[in-house]
Amino acid sequence: MGREGAPCRTRAIFCFLLLFCAGGKCLASEFEVIQEASLSVDASPILARKIPDTLFGMFFEEINHAGAGGIWAELVSNRGFEAGGPHTPSNIDPWSIIGDDSSIFVGTERISCFSRNMVALRMEILCDSCPVGGVGIYNPGFWGMNIEDGKTYNLVMHVKSPKTTELTVSLTSSDGLHILASAVVRVSDTSNWIKLDQTLVSRGTDRTSRLQITANKKGVVWLDQVSLMPSDTYKGHGFRTELISMLLDLKPRFLRFPGGCFVEGSWLRNAFRWRDSIGPWEERPGHYGDVWNYWTDDGLGYYEFLQLSEDLGAAPVWVFNNGISHHDEVDTAAIAPFVKDILDSLEFARGSTESKWGSVRAAMGHPEPFPVKHVAIGNEDCGKKNYRGNYLKFYNAIREAYPDIQMISNCDGSSTPLDHPADLYDFHIYTDSKALFSMRNTFDKTSRNGPKAFVSEYAVTGNDAGRGSLLASLAEAAFLIGLEKNSDVVQMASYAPLFVNDNDQTWNPDAIVFNSWQQYGTPSYWMQKLFRESSGAMIHAVTVNSSYSGLLAASAITWHDNENSFLRVKIVNFGPDAVSLTISTTGIESSVNALGSTATVLTSGEVMDENSFTNPNKIVPVTVELRNAADVMQVTLPPHSFSAFDLALLQSALVTDM
């Protein structure tokens, strides 16, 4: 992927930039065909309209190991030995034995001190003269632990032993031969479980490390709830800093969580349960996510999602199970306990410290309420037998208890009115690039009355999406331009899925790809970055004239940073030809200032180009100064490109109030 497309991309961007440096034209040899087009922007206050503050946010689902082994920084996989189920003997994968049958015997027993996760590990050391280094168990984490030189890691484990025992805890290479950090912990003879805390400071870097717990004397030790966390998580809240940094760069206005199908479950018994995911992490039972087929210990639970929303400065959007999974449903006549459960979840988030569930939140370290003002009643359940009946039970109960909460229906109201009350409705779209590009006008004819649209899942999928192609990002950008222009009826929108662990590519493409130590944004991620100033901005009328206009999509907004105001003109060239474009602006009366104006382009040499770990910045936005910025200017758009022109506005200019 690396070298073939790079020269073409360089030439295209150079030609794009040349117009602002020298005011010239691209040579005919650069582009075989150059189309002509004009784009006029009317920034008159009378035609301007405010975009909702919440328009662009993000959707997090526990899919592709996005949380477990992803943004949640826990390094131990199956830390409570519960992933094999509540029965014993149990499968303890990915834990493995160090030694052989003559030196160690490992099994599981329902003997834990934690009542909601009773399975614990029994490790019996059989050898009198154990091998050098001892025998025991090890955990490779999620496809290897990223252990870095000089970093501190906090180990917590619960143990008991009938006689005094010494255990060696170590961070080692994947084969156990190279030790990065090690400590000896003493377990006094006791019939009671004790909690051991140990700090490990690494003396080297290994991207595929493992945690070892070993002994070298005959005896029996029980282990449970073994956790290893890096000390440098984001704000100390348990999130992987470098991945959170990528989310912060998008400036999301809301966070929808925790799914998706993860909320429903293939069967209700495996659906996400909020109350099982709060409180001390050692007491959370975890559950098997049977839609995406992996175990989660729910260390990343309801409380942590609320905390993540706060850390991102994003409004929380709580998606809850409404008594419906993919294969079974609760009858409306029996839904009352589910309704009570969700009312309790809202009291946990919003209740005072004097309330039952608000006091639980406070005990976890957050006495201030979380501002939950949006809830989605189910996920993609509109066609299910009991959805409407169940929906109304939830809707009426929540409306009575929390009149300010905006409720989201799973039923699409974009073409026909809903037959039930709602504040917003879900709109999900996954399709190929050509189809999504053609949907840029989808909401033009939607009724301006009734509930607003929440485009809570959108993406290009299929063959032309690859693992995140330029082509996919261009179609998505055009679709978002359509949402901007229809933001009087579209209140919120989020791409899906957000993350994929490179080792669990259950769903492709995704916005951010990562492994234990690397990460990069796909073109769809970088495309979203060019929309991050749109929420709360003013949108203006634009007109495009060209015989090529069927392959163009454009919008214009006025936005502000801390010191300056800008008119941003965005345009997608979805076609194979370059476009000589004349941009003219009216309604701002000679207010364009070349100083501070910029041009940004997202493109590449081939439309199916992708980013990768070996070339993470192959397709990223390139920004330069617009030295010749003016009310009327000539630019050339490369083929298959997404461009944004930020025209700085003089302080004396008449700018619509935000």
Average pLDDT over residues 605-614: 97
Name beta bridge partners: 318.
Answer: 257, 375
Q: Using CA atoms, how far apart are residues 479 and 7, in angstroms rounded to an integer? A: 29
User: CA-based Rg of the chain, rounded to a whole angstrom?
Assistant: 28
In this prediction, residues 86-104 reach a mean pLDDT of: 94
* Confidence grade of residue 210 (pLDDT, cut at 50, 70, 90): very high
State mean pLDDT over 329-340. Answer: 98
Separation CA 202–CA 181 (nearest Å)? 5
Q: Give the model's pLDDT for residue 11.
A: 44
10 Å CB burial of residue 192 (0-12, 13-18, 19+) is exposed
Which pLDDT belongs to residue 31? Answer: 66
* CA–CA dist 507, 200 (Å, integer): 36
Compute the distance between CA of residue 183 and CA of residue 200 in angstroms, rounded to an integer. 7
Look at residue 144 in the predicted model and tell me its pLDDT: 98
pLDDT for 188: 87
Whole-angstrom Cα distance, residue 656 to residue 658?
6
**Per-residue pLDDT, 5:** 40
- Res. 25 pLDDT band, cuts 50 70 90: very low
User: How far apart are the C-alpha atoms of 495 and 56, rounded to whole Å?
Assistant: 9
Task: Tell me the C-alpha distance between 427 and 435, whole Å.
Answer: 15
Residues 520 and 149: their CA atoms lie apart, in Å, by 22
- Residue 316's pLDDT band, with cuts at 50, 70 and 90, is very high
Bridge partners of 609?
none
Residue 32 has pLDDT above 90, yes or no: no
Condensed to tens digits (0 to 9), the pLDDT of residues 567-578 reads 999 999 999 999
Q: Where are the alpha helices (DSSP H) in 421-464?
A: 433-438
Q: Is the pLDDT of residue 24 over 70?
A: no
Q: Is the pTM of this model over 0.75?
A: yes
